[in-house]
Amino acid sequence: MSFTGKYELQSQENFEPFMKALGLPDDQIQKGKDIKSISEIVQDGKKFKITVTTGSKVLHNEFTIGEECDMEMLTGEKVKAVVQLEGNNRLVANLKGLKSVTELNGDIITNTLTMGDLTYKRISKRI
């Protein structure tokens, strides 16, 4: 299954408490909570390029399945991570105490971030 495509954020759960726990300033949290971000994914075999545009903020990450890479977190911090592919539709990464699971089902992509007992869920639809 190919992840390639553009996806628009449809809904999110626990945005504010999760961003506070990450250490984002309140003004950034307030600005970001109502913006419909667009995620663009380009998959070429085991290589991925992911660009998430939220208003004026653009987060860009590139990785190859199973290889260590530098990933930019929501806070702008760069961390080392290895992304694994589970089955043919789940990308899993551990970033500095944060677990990210991205699952593709048809035209819906669900990204779940877990840190301790806090979970932030984003659901986006292919556009």
- What is the tens place of the pLDDT at every residue in 107-120? 999 999 999 999 99
46 secondary structure, DSSP code: T
pLDDT at residue 57, as a whole number: 83
Q: Residue 7 — pLDDT band, cuts 50, 70, 90?
A: very high
The residues that bridge with 104 in the sheet, in sequence order, are 109
The residues that bridge with 102 in the sheet, in sequence order, are 91, 111
| Distance between CA atoms of residues 30 and 15, nearest Å | 10
Neighbouring CB atoms inside 10 A of 4's CB total 12
Query: Does this model's pTM top 0.95?
Result: no
Residue spans of the domains in the chain: they are 5-126
Q: What is the CATH number of domain 5-126?
A: 2.40.128.20
- What is the tens place of the pLDDT at every residue in 80-109? 999 999 999 999 999 888 999 999 999 999
